Amino acid sequence: MNLFPYKPRKGQKEIMETILECLHEKKHLVFEAPAGAGKTACVLAASLSFAMENDKGIVYLTRTNSQQKQAIEELRRMKGRMRAVGMQGRTNTCLLIETIPSLKEKGLSNEDVARLCAARKKRSMEAMKGKEEWNRCIFFENFVASKDKIFFDNVVAAEELVEYGRNNKICAYEMNKMLVKEADIVIAPYIYIFDDFLREKFSKLYTYHFDETILIIDEAHNLPDFCRELLSFSISSRTIRAAINEAGEYGVRDDDINEALNVFKELFEKLEEEMEFSETNDALMDERRLLKEFEENGIGSNELQKIAEKMIVYGDIIADIKESKKMLPRSFLRSVGNFIMRWNEIDEKWVKIVEKNDDLIHIAAYCLDASIASSIINSFYCSIHMSGTLEPMEEYIKSIGIEAVTKKFPSPFPESNKRVVYVEGVTTRYYMEEEMLEKIVEHLNTICNSINKNTLVLFPSYAVMERFLKKLRIERDVYVETRGERQKSIMEKLQEFKNKGGVFLSVMGGRLAEGIDFPSEELEVVVIVGIPYPPPSAKQYALQRFYDAKYGNGWKYVMEAQAIRRIMQAVGRLIRREDDRGIAIILDERAKRFKKYVKMEKTRDVIQEIKNFFGG
């Protein structure tokens, strides 16, 4: 409590006591607490108190770089004598890229930036030994020359390092690594622990051994999907075409490589004609289809492996040539080689899929078992997993492969501030007939036109929303989040919505359904159209089949768990602080099956329900 920077509200002392109990007993803790409960401050205060008394380190993981800011702000409010730093990768901290116009707008991958960085640092090291070198990195050289004079406060955000580096022409990435070596607390993206390669790099910088480190996972409901996506990989028809062009441009005369690339090209053409794609534009692919295609062309698996190795060697040479010419050090040949190598290593915990995206065909290996990446959690002293939407917790724990204490903490705000109701007689189940569509449209028009409150309407998918857009007749300002819309555009619409009011149409799981704060009157009504089960897809089918075999109830783990969390996320937009009030209306009679997780009641008159709630 000495470190907690606020006067404790209802429930916060209990959260900290639970955390300390698990820390003393060296047990993993998975807990859910609603928005506004002060999870970040509670977890940091309790963990830091224990860490300082027991000489432990803390690694605080966030899903995105932007989520690091709250942890940094809370640490600055605490009075402990700790050293903390936010960590981000080269892609966000490399200042050299800003000085090379040809690279700045290229959308560099982590691999691209790492290769560029390594080449420039090597030349800079040679130059510092007196050898004449070109294409160096002045930011790295300035860091080496001045690192002993650099000083920061005890709590440092990665963005501050970038700004300091930009102003002083010093490498922010190297400063970040230097501070990680000195830190008791590191705030980093998930990938630094769950990616094998980056974890090894991180462990060499970080002061504490993992078995003496407390691992904190923020917004933990994202972790299983993050781990699956991290271990998944794909290749597109565009990459194959680019590799063929690259081989020709750089004079790769290897017959085996050129033949393999042509087999890939023909396979993509066949798949585009043959596959029947789902609503989400994917389809299951025969497990051995790719290897069969090569075998039919006289290339066995052992020979294909050797061809892949040659592709990587040629690709490395091409990337070096490109870098020396101030071009992006990217090789498509190397990408194809790496894809083949990974494809040959996977087992039944991956499913092979064909995807169609913007008229491009992709062959993908989708990982079904998140625990392959997340089981590293068991190497830590213990871990704390927190979120406002972790129910059902049993599914979460099994998905990531740990045993843990589970706890659900109630909202610290008055129950009367929030109400959730559902409407019978309507549903988006299966494909909506016109009669049902019209019935839901009538409800939406009535709600949006009768109640002058800022209203967020969330649909199960963009496809469903597009059907409604043609029929809705809303007489207020309407804002729509469109499929593939850029973040900047959405944020501009959102700001106008907050300032002027109206109705915002979006989708469950979209940017507005999670992670956006709507204080006070900025949002008072949320309408959820249908139950947000994941749309039918090859991935979902394979994942459900995997959990059926593993636990016996794939529907619960794959479909129901995601729907519950998305509903809770949407409802959570309403109450973020003590003076917030709001009502959520679910336009689907199936909502009643989730009463165990979300407190809700049936309503017969939606408009009267809303008026009664707001006292008018």
Instruction: Give the DSSP per-residue string, 505-555.
Output: EEETTSGGGSS----GGG--EEEEES--PPPP-HHHHHHHHHHHHHHS-HI
Burial class (CB in 10 A: 0-12, 13-18, 19+), 359: exposed
Give dist(CA 343, CA 362) in Å, integer.
14
Give the pLDDT score at 521: 84
Give the pLDDT score at 102: 65
Sheet strands (E) in 181-281: 185-189, 213-217, 233-236
| DSSP conformational letter for 243 | H
Give dist(CA 115, CA 137) in Å, integer.
13
Instruction: Give the DSSP per-residue string, 417-442.
Output: GEEEEEETT----SSPPHHHHHHHHH
Torsion over CA: 191, 196, 200, 206 (sign):
positive
Give dist(CA 356, CA 235) in Å, integer.
12
The predicted-structure confidence for 68-115, as pLDDT tens digits, reads as follows: 998 999 999 997 678 999 999 888 899 988 887 766 656 677 788 888
Give dist(CA 444, CA 468) in Å, integer.
10
Mean pLDDT for 249-271 is: 95
Please say whether the beta carbons of 39 and 15 come within 8 A.
Answer: yes
Torsion over CA: 386, 390, 394, 400 (sign):
negative
Dihedral (C-alpha) 502, 506, 509, 511: value to the nearest 10 degrees? -70
Bridge partners of residue 28, in order along the sequence:
404
- Residue identified by tokens 């005890």 is 154
Distances (CA, A) of 427 to 331, 531, 532, 533: 50, 8, 11, 12
Mean pLDDT for 248-273 is: 95
Give the pLDDT score at 103: 66
Ranking 16-20, 216-220, 518-522, 584-588 by mean pLDDT, the lowest is 518-522
Mean pLDDT for 432-438 is: 88
At residue 319's C-alpha, the angle toward residues 315 and 322, to 5°, is 140
- Which helix or strand (DSSP H or E) is residue 326 part of? none
Please say whether the beta carbons of 57 and 213 come within 8 A.
Answer: yes
How many CA atoms does the CB half-sphere of 325 hold within 13 Å? Answer: 10
Please say whether the beta carbons of 505 and 329 come within 8 A.
Answer: no
Mean pLDDT for 233-240 is: 96
Give the pLDDT score at 305: 96
Torsion over CA: 31, 600, 511, 281 (sign):
positive
Place domain 1-82+184-218+381-412 in its CATH homologous superfamily: P-loop containing nucleotide triphosphate hydrolases (3.40.50.300)
- Which helix or strand (DSSP H or E) is residue 457 part of? strand 455-459
Give dist(CA 587, CA 262) in Å, integer.
52
Sheet strands (E) in 279-348: 282-284
Give dist(CA 240, CA 229) in Å, integer.
22
Mean pLDDT for 449-472 is: 92
Give dist(CA 547, CA 246) in Å, integer.
42
Residue 382 identity = C
Please list the residue range(s) of the chain that carry CATH number 3.40.50.300. 1-82+184-218+381-412, 415-613
Confidence of residue 328 (pLDDT cuts 50, 70, 90): confident
Mean pLDDT for 583-608 is: 93
Confidence of residue 152 (pLDDT cuts 50, 70, 90): confident
Token digits for 360?
């491009």
Percent of the chain past pLDDT 70, that is, above it, reads 97
Which residues touch 580 (CB under 8 Å, ≥6 apart)?
36, 413, 417, 519, 520, 574
Residue 98 identity = E
The predicted-structure confidence for 294-325, as pLDDT tens digits, reads as follows: 999 999 999 999 999 999 999 999 998 988 88
- Residue identified by tokens 């000495």 is 2
At residue 73's C-alpha, the angle toward residues 67 and 75, to 5°, is 110
Please say whether the beta carbons of 533 and 460 come within 8 A.
Answer: yes
Which residues touch 167 (CB under 8 Å, ≥6 apart)?
none
Distances (CA, A) of 425 to 30, 284, 443: 37, 36, 11
Task: Give the number of other CB atoms < 10 A from CB of residue 302.
Answer: 9
The predicted-structure confidence for 386-434, as pLDDT tens digits, reads as follows: 999 898 899 999 999 999 999 999 888 888 899 999 999 999 886 678 8
Task: Please give the CATH number for the structural domain made up of 231-367.
Answer: 1.10.275.40
Q: Report the first-to-last Cα separation within the chain, whole angstroms.
A: 43
Q: Is the pLDDT of residue 132 over 80?
A: no
The predicted-structure confidence for 180-207, as pLDDT tens digits, reads as follows: 999 999 999 999 999 999 999 999 999 9
Task: Give the number of other CB atoms < 10 A from CB of residue 292.
Answer: 12
Please list the residue range(s) of the chain that carry CATH number 1.10.275.40. 231-367
Q: Is the pLDDT of residue 506 over 80?
A: yes
Q: Is the pLDDT of residue 534 over 70?
A: yes
Query: What's the CATH fold of domain 415-613?
Result: Rossmann fold (3.40.50)
Give dist(CA 182, CA 177) in Å, integer.
9
Give dist(CA 315, CA 337) in Å, integer.
8
Token digits for 555?
């529907």
Give dist(CA 212, CA 51) in Å, integer.
9
Confidence of residue 616 (pLDDT cuts 50, 70, 90): low
Token digits for 104?
């700045």
Give dist(CA 525, CA 61) in Å, integer.
32
Ranking 10-14, 128-132, 372-376, 588-592 by mean pLDDT, the lowest is 128-132
Give the pLDDT score at 458: 95
Q: Is the pLDDT of residue 512 over 80?
A: no
Sheet strands (E) in 326-415: 350-357, 360-367, 382-387, 404-408
Give the pLDDT score at 9: 86
* Length in residues, the chain: 616
Mean pLDDT for 584-609 is: 93
